[in-house]
Amino acid sequence: MYETRHEALHGNGQVRLAHVGVFVRDIERMRGFYTRALGLVVTDQEVNEKRQIVFLSRNPEEHHQLVLVGGRPAAETFNVVNQLSFKVEGLAAVQAFHRRLGSEAVTEIRPVTHGIAWSVYFRDPEGNRVEVFADTPWYVHQPYGSPIDLTRPADEIVRETEALCRTLPGYRPRDQWRTDLQGRLAQSAPA
């Protein structure tokens, strides 16, 4: 949890697995299963002809712990893991990983702000999608993504991200979003 913008800039560089994205065949069925069976709450979603993505969480500290993504082919040879996501503490740590990727055998390096997070996506040497990210102090409706330049000074990125977030649907401080989600989680707790 961030107390100040300063905390959003700094961190120790430690990574921890934060969420998993899984390709599914039937998004409605899978959303129902995870909300009923595990008590996960839908935190955001976009389900239409163009895109099928559902974000779920059981932890008010995490916007999402599981992401369901439509498009899984009927063939069982398809890898159902959409991505591996590793959380770091602060924008500076994301920038450090971004710099480090330049000397690795990775492809498709893509820095993005989701409003709720600063991320760098890339493909590992076997083509698996990986994300390294840090939370921002703000919330906006998901899915959202916009390219960012992680080579710029961190304080500029923070200012621009906040200004951007203030223009997006659902904008509010992350702490307020967290409190709202805690209430929803309490209401949906299994009996």
* Per-residue model confidence (pLDDT) at position 130: 87
Cβ neighbourhood burial of 3 (10 Å; 0-12, 13-18, 19+): exposed
Cβ neighbourhood burial of 143 (10 Å; 0-12, 13-18, 19+): middle
pLDDT per residue as tens, the chain (191 positions): 445 555 566 666 667 778 999 888 889 988 988 888 677 899 999 999 999 999 999 889 999 999 999 988 877 676 778 888 888 889 999 999 899 888 887 889 999 999 999 999 988 876 778 898 999 999 999 999 999 999 999 999 999 999 999 999 999 999 999 999 999 988 876 66
Cα-based distances in Å from 157 to 95, 161, 167, 180: 11, 6, 16, 27
User: In the 8-state DSSP scheme, what is residue 167?
Assistant: T
Domains (range + CATH), the chain:
5-184 (3.10.180.10)
Alpha carbons 189 and 96: distance in angstroms, whole number: 39
Q: How many CA atoms lie less than 13 Å away from 97 in the CB half-sphere?
A: 28
Three-class secondary structure of residue 157 per DSSP: helix
* Per-residue model confidence (pLDDT) at position 142: 97
* Per-residue model confidence (pLDDT) at position 46: 95
Comparing CA positions, the residue from 113, 109, 87 lying closest to residue 100 is 109
* Per-residue model confidence (pLDDT) at position 12: 60
Q: pTM for this one?
A: 0.75
* Per-residue model confidence (pLDDT) at position 2: 46
